[in-house]
């Protein structure tokens, strides 16, 4: 019996020591680390990761990022120009280019060098009249259409070329080319629009004469001295004495003579050639022009196109 009691005491003592050790172990494992130690460890880990990322060469992908998926470009030659000439003489030129946006435009064999039979300044007026109301849409509808396709649109002229162009999403090719065709062939040029353009042209002329750097005028003066009274020597900017001479009939007469299919190239970069040809056939119908539908908008006798060659004369221009 005494031996049994001793065994029981020994067992109880061992159990007590085991429980004490378990309690101490659990207490030490549940004790959270000090905040300062945690912050230091996290900072050190982040610095180590950043250092490791900076050591990765640019030729390798960064670890932990999803695998990049690249769009495959179609097999096209970006510098291969396709040209189609329609029966009416209109030319369509395109170049394939991979992307979501395209640039389309119309280049016209016209400009101030062809104004010998008109009051100089018509091209200057036409720049300011571009993309106003047309037979098919108002000015607001025109710019609303461009905005819907994320586009930009502009009209500029040189002494021998007019350019109407736009950059837009490729899905807007047909709509935007229709806007450009309307501006070229079907403008309304209301009295209000003409007077607004006259005011803008007058401001341009006065502003250029006041500027200390008159580079645009210098270029005009150089040409006027080199080709006095012919072709390239005619002024690009409207002379002040012609501001009130340019009328709606004069502008439409100039457009009827020069904005013809044989003098127009429709071009695009980043578009399908077949779609461009289809859109050009649809929108550049010469029978739907403003002057074709109403012959009273032009002069009784429209001057013919000046086909003379630029003749160098030399001389001086004093200002």
Give the pLDDT score at 214. Answer: 81
- The reported pLDDT for the residue numbered 290 is 98
Distance between first and last Cα of the chain: 138
Q: In what order do the strands lie in the sheet with 162-169?
A: 81-85, 91-95, 264-269, 101-108, 162-169, 152-157
What is the pLDDT at residue 147? 96
Report the distance separating Cα 9 and Cα 246, nearest Å.
125
Fold topology of 82-297:
Cytochrome Bc1 Complex; Chain A, domain 1 (3.30.830)
- The tokens for 282 are 């649809």
Among residues 78, 102, 97, which one has the least CA distance to residue 174? 102
The residue extents of the domains of the chain are 82-297
- Please give the radius of gyration of the chain, using alpha carbons only, rounded to the nearest integer: 38
CA-CA distance, 233 to 3, in Å (whole number)? Answer: 134
Would you mind telling me the total number of residues written for the chain in this entry? 319
If one counts every other C-beta atom within 10 angstroms of the C-beta of residue 212, the result is 4
Helices and strands (H, E) in the chain, number of each type: 10, 6
Cα(248)–Cα(294) distance, integer angstroms: 13
The DSSP letter of residue 188 is -
Backbone angles phi, psi at 265, to 5 degrees: -120, 125
Active site residues: 127
Looking from the CA of 39 toward its CB, the CA atoms found within 13 Å total 3
Tell me the C-alpha distance between 283 and 167, whole Å. 18
The neighbouring-strand residues paired with 264 are: 108
β-sheet bridge partners, residue 134:
187
Per-position pLDDT tens, the chain of length 319:
444 444 444 454 555 555 555 545 544 445 555 555 555 555 555 555 555 777 888 888 877 788 877 777 666 776 789 999 999 999 999 998 888 999 999 999 999 999 999 999 999 999 999 999 999 999 999 999 999 999 999 999 999 999 999 999 999 999 999 999 999 999 999 999 999 999 999 999 999 988 888 888 899 999 999 999 999 999 999 999 999 999 999 999 999 999 999 999 999 999 999 999 999 999 999 999 999 999 999 999 999 999 999 999 999 988 8
**DSSP character at residue 159:** S
Please give the pLDDT value at position 1.
43
Beta strand 91-95 with 264-269: parallel, antiparallel or unpaired?
parallel
Between CA 266 and CA 164 the distance in angstroms is: 10
> Comparing C-alpha atoms, which of 295, 287, 298 is closest to residue 253?
298
Helix (H, G, I), strand (E, B) or coil at 220: helix
């Amino acid at each position: 019996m005494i031996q049994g009691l001793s065994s029981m005491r020994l067992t109880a003592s061992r159990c007590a020591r085991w429980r004490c050790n378990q309690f101490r172990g659990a207490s030490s494992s549940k004790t959270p680390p000090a905040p300062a130690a945690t912050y230091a460890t996290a900072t050190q880990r982040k610095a180590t990761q950043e250092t490791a990322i900076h050591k990765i060469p640019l030729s390798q992908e960064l670890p932990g990022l999803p695998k990049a998926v690249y769009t495959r470009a179609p097999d096209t030659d970006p510098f291969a120009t396709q040209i189609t000439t329609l029966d009416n003489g209109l030319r369509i030129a395109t170049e394939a280019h991979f992307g979501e946006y395209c640039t389309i435009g119309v280049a016209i064999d016209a400009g101030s060098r062809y104004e010998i039979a008109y009051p100089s300044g018509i091209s200057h007026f036409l720049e300011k009249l571009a993309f106003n109301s047309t037979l098919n849409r108002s000015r607001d509808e025109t710019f609303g259409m461009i905005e819907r396709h994320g586009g930009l649109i502009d009209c500029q002229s040189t002494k021998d070329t007019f350019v109407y162009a736009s950059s837009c999403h490729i899905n807007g090719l047909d709509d935007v080319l229709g806007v450009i065709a309307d501006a070229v062939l079907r403008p309304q040029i209301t009295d209000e629009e003409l007077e607004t353009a006259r005011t803008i042209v007058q401001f341009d002329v006065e502003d250029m004469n006041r500027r200390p750097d008159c580079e645009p005028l210098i270029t005009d003066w150089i040409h006027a001295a080199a080709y006095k009274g012919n072709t390239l020597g005619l002024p690009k900017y409207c002379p002040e004495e012609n501001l009130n001479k340019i009328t709606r009939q004069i502008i439409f007469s100039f457009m009827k003579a020069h904005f013809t299919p044989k003098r127009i190239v429709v071009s695009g970069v980043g578009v399908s050639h077949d779609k461009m040809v289809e859109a050009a056939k649809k929108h550049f119908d010469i029978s739907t022009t403003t002057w074709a539908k109403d012959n009273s908008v032009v002069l009784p006798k429209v001057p013919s196109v000046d086909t003379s060659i630029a003749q160098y004369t030399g001389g001086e221009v004093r200002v």
